[in-house]
Amino acid sequence: MFGPEHLFLAGTAAAGVVTFFTFLPSFVFIFLGAPLIETTHGNLKYTAPLTGITAAVVGVILNLAVFFAIQIFWPSGLHGAFDAFSALLSAAAAVALFRFKTGVIRLIVACGFLGLAFRLLTT
């Protein structure tokens, strides 16, 4: 559709389509399901299962956090070298986020630039 001379445009369009269809189901569930969930607020027959579902979602998020931490801190696997810079940057980001209440977007951009600078200076 774009041809071989427009690779960047084709990649950008593909990224947009993938992003759209990745997040579209979540937004549909939220916008259509949230009013229904709100009407069940205070009803024990619905509150108890939703509490269990919330606990399961927290477990999934924690599992993903541990998985990503392992992939970042030990990029060559658990038997490989530990990436101390990534660990220090993560600890500094956690302090900035929780102690100093830094904005998330600002923190992500700053950590991205610091990581890029570190990789460019060390390679």
Q: What is the pTM of this model?
A: 0.62
pLDDT(2) > 90: no
78 SS3 class: coil
Distance of CA 120 to the CA centre of its chain: 24
Q: Inform me whether the pLDDT recorded for 86 exceeds 90.
A: yes
Cα distance between residue 107 and residue 120, in whole Å: 20
- Chain mean pLDDT for the chain: 92
Average pLDDT over residues 89-118: 96
User: Residue 71's pLDDT band (boundaries 50, 70, 90)?
Assistant: very high
**Per-residue confidence band for 15, with pLDDT thresholds at 50, 70 and 90:** very high
Cβ contacts of 21-26, under 8 Å, gap ≥ 24: none
Report the distance separating Cα 62 and Cα 83, nearest Å: 21
pLDDT, tens digit, 9 for 90 and up, residues 46-58:
888 888 999 999 9
Helical residues (DSSP H) of the chain, grouped into ranges: 7-39, 44-73, 84-98, 104-122
Chain-centroid distance, C-alpha 111: 14
Give the lowest-confidence range in 7-16, 45-54, 72-81, 102-111: 45-54
